[in-house]
Structure formats: C-alpha cells, structure tokens
C-alpha cells in the first residue's frame, strides 16, 4: 500500500516522468538490488545484450593468463585470480590491459556456483573498462547442467537455486507494480515436472536451454577461442572439430543454450570425443598423449601453434606435452575435486610461457 500511495502521489506531481521514465529507473534499481543479493556482493551493472556476441578469433595480446576449472569454489577462484594479479583484495579487477581466459567448468562439485557466475560476469565488465578482457569458456559441466544432468551438483548449491528463484520472483513482483515486468517473469515450471524436488526444479528451469541463467551466463561463452597462436578449449579440439568449424561450434552451442534450436544438444558436445570431453591431449604421462592428432588439429586452424586445455586434473600442476604444443591447466583447485593449490598459465607476447 505504501508503494502504491507514493506512486499515485508522485504521478500527480510528475506525470511525464512517472509514465515515461520511472518504470525504467525503478526496473534498473530492482535489477541492481536483486543481482547484488544473488551475487552475495557486487554484481555487473551493464545492460546485457539479448543475444550472445560471440568471438572465436582474437589477435595476440601482450599478457595473456589462462585459468583452469573452478568447480563451484569461490575461495580458490579468488586465489587463482589474485595469483595472476587480476583482482585486488576487494575482488575488483586489477589486471589492467591483461587478457584472461577461464577454460570452463564453473559449475558442479562446489557450493558457490552462482557466486562464481556473477563474479565472472562482473569481472568481464570491469576488465573491459580497464582495457583488458576476461573470456569465459563453456565446459562439459555447463553442458551437462543444461541437459538437466545434476549428478555432480552439491545439495547446498542446488538449494541456492531455489533461493535464486525466490529472489527473481520477488523482483518480478516489484517491477510489476509500475508496469515494467516485461522480461522479468519468474521461471515457469516445465510441463510434467511438478513432482520434482523444488530446489532441483529451480536449477533445471534456470539452466535448461532457454532458461534465464543459461541465456545470461552460459550462452554468451564460447566453446573454443583462439587468441593469437593459442587455442583455448575445455576438453580438446580434434581434427573433426576443426573441419566442422570453430565459429560454427560456438554459434550452434549458443543457439542451443538460448533455446533457439530445441532441447537436443549438438552432436559435437556429446560423447567421449566431444570438444568439451576429449582427453586425447590430457594424459599426465606425456607419452600417452595423441601428439599426431594434436598436430593435425592445429594444422587445420590458421595461425595456431598451441592448445590450452582443462578438464583433466594434473597432479603435477600446470604442464606441457607434445613439444609444448599443448598446455594442461586443470590443477583440481576446487575443494570438491582435488583441493589443489591454484596455478595459472601466463603467455607473454604470444611466445613466452610462464
């Protein structure tokens, strides 16, 4: 009642502002407030595009950082970003013009998935303002969650999706009070799914293709990204993936996650040889790596001389194989899968690897 009374009074005093401008001001305030609740801290402020603006090929940069799988561990994620000099003690971007790539698997195995998604989105915004960049890739755990396969999610993290849904419903109700609820309706139940546990259902509706978090946090992320002579991917680019086309892989994945191409996941994301699942280049015993296959794949990608992959935990830490044609950077940092010490890979001037 208090809000309606205020709105009625304000409307009589400032009719043009109330009818034309206030809905956007109010809607932006509600979005900022609820995003802060969801992120459990600062959140991004930029207006997000309705469709992902995907990039597949970018020029070399002076300083390039690669960070491996995060798996729901916000504390270890922060430590990895600080180790690389990318964030300060307040978690603000401090990397200047550095370009960073996180190679996927933000989800599963840890309790802080949503915090990580919101943090990465905010850091992407802050990096851009500073003249740098943060690129976040799609991993196999993102595609699994989009399919509704939650085998590796923790109970606590899934409960937080129900909290997320409650806050989004609250935001929609607040926005509706001034007629600006377009695009902010609470997630709808999928037909026939009412018997599913509420928290699991909230997760399903958020991350399924076309779901609000799939559109916001997953669809904008490429599967494969080439910066200078380095190709970044979660699992591995095999020759058949290069033949299919890296830009095509990125766009068709984005269309699927946006809900534009039905629920069926693209074939190149499924199976042992999927671009997000492949382990041909990841065996810790370098002699078991398929170096000929790697060289064939790199030869099909113009300007590529090395690949950086995650997905397979390296007990020895970040390391190289196949005469340094592949760098493996998943150190199992999450407490949910290895609890390793954070490490990062630094590439200077497209040549020097640190």
- Same-domain check for residues 219 and 342: yes
- Same-domain check for residues 184 and 326: no
Smallest Cα–Cα separation from 63: which of 108, 117, 127, 114?
A: 127
Q: Which domain holds residue 163?
A: 2-39+156-202
> Which residues are annotated as catalytic?
141
Q: 175 is written with which tokens? A: 């926005």
As a whole number of angstroms, the distance between CA 276 and CA 272 comes to 9
Does residue 255 sit within a domain?
yes
Q: What is the pLDDT of residue 184?
A: 44
- Same-domain check for residues 217 and 343: yes
- Same-domain check for residues 181 and 106: no
- Same-domain check for residues 83 and 133: yes
Does residue 119 sit within a domain?
yes
- Same-domain check for residues 185 and 246: no
- Same-domain check for residues 214 and 295: yes
Evaluate if residue 187 carries a pLDDT over 50: no
- Same-domain check for residues 161 and 251: no
- Same-domain check for residues 217 and 288: yes
Average pLDDT (278-282) is: 97
Say how many domains are in the chain: 2
Q: 92 is written with which tokens? A: 């603000």
- Same-domain check for residues 111 and 222: yes
Does residue 45 sit within a domain?
no
Q: What is the pLDDT of residues 189-218, one digit of tens each?
A: 445 444 457 899 999 999 999 999 999 999
- The CA-atom distances, in angstroms, between 181 and each of 2, 3, 11, 136 are 19, 16, 19, 30
Does residue 44 sit within a domain?
no
Instruction: Note if the pTM is more than 0.75.
Output: yes
- Same-domain check for residues 274 and 166: no
* Average pLDDT along the chain: 90
CATH (domain of 246): 3.60.21.10
Q: What is the pLDDT of residues 144-180, one digit of tens each?
A: 999 999 999 999 999 999 999 999 989 888 888 776 5
Neighbour count for residue 261 (Cβ, 10 Å): 16
- Same-domain check for residues 301 and 345: yes
- 3 state DSSP class of 181: coil
As a whole number of angstroms, the distance between CA 350 and CA 56 comes to 17
Does residue 52 sit within a domain?
no
């Amino acid at each position: 009642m208090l809000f309606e009374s205020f709105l009625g009074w304000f409307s009589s005093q400032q009719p043009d502002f109330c009818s034309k401008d206030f809905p956007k001001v109010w809607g932006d305030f509600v979005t900022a407030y609820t995003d802060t609740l969801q992120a459990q801290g600062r959140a991004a402020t930029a207006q997000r595009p309705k469709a992902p603006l995907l990039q597949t090929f970018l020029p070399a940069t002076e300083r390039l950082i690669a960070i491996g799988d995060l798996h729901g561990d916000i504390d270890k994620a922060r430590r990895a970003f600080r180790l690389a000099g990318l964030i300060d003690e307040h978690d603000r971007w401090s990397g200047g013009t550095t370009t960073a790539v996180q190679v996927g698997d933000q989800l599963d195995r840890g309790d802080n998935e949503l915090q990580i998604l919101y943090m990465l989105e905010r850091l992407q915004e802050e990096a851009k303002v500073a003249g740098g960049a943060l690129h976040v890739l799609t991993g196999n755990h993102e595609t699994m969650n989009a399919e509704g396969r939650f085998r590796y999610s923790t109970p606590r993290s899934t409960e937080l999706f129900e909290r997320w849904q409650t806050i989004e419903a609250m935001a929609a109700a607040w926005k509706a009070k001034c007629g600006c609820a377009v695009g902010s309706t609470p997630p709808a139940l999928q037909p026939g799914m009412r018997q599913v546990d509420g928290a699991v259902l909230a997760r399903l509706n958020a991350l399924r293709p076309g779901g609000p978090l799939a559109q916001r946090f997953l669809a904008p992320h490429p599967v494969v990204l080439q910066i200078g002579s380095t190709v970044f991917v979660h699992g591995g680019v095999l020759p058949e993936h290069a033949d299919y086309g890296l830009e095509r892989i990125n766009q068709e994945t984005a269309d699927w996650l946006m809900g534009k191409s039905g629920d069926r996941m693209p074939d190149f994301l499924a199976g042992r040889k999927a671009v997000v699942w492949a382990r041909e280049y990841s065996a810790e015993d370098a002699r078991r790596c398929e170096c000929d296959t790697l060289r064939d794949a790199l030869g099909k990608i113009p300007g590529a001389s090395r690949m950086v992959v995650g997905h397979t935990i390296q007990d020895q830490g970040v390391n190289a194989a196949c005469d340094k044609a592949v760098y493996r950077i998943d150190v199992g940092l999450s407490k949910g899968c290895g609890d390793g010490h954070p490490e990062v890979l630094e590439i200077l001037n497209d040549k020097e690897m640190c």
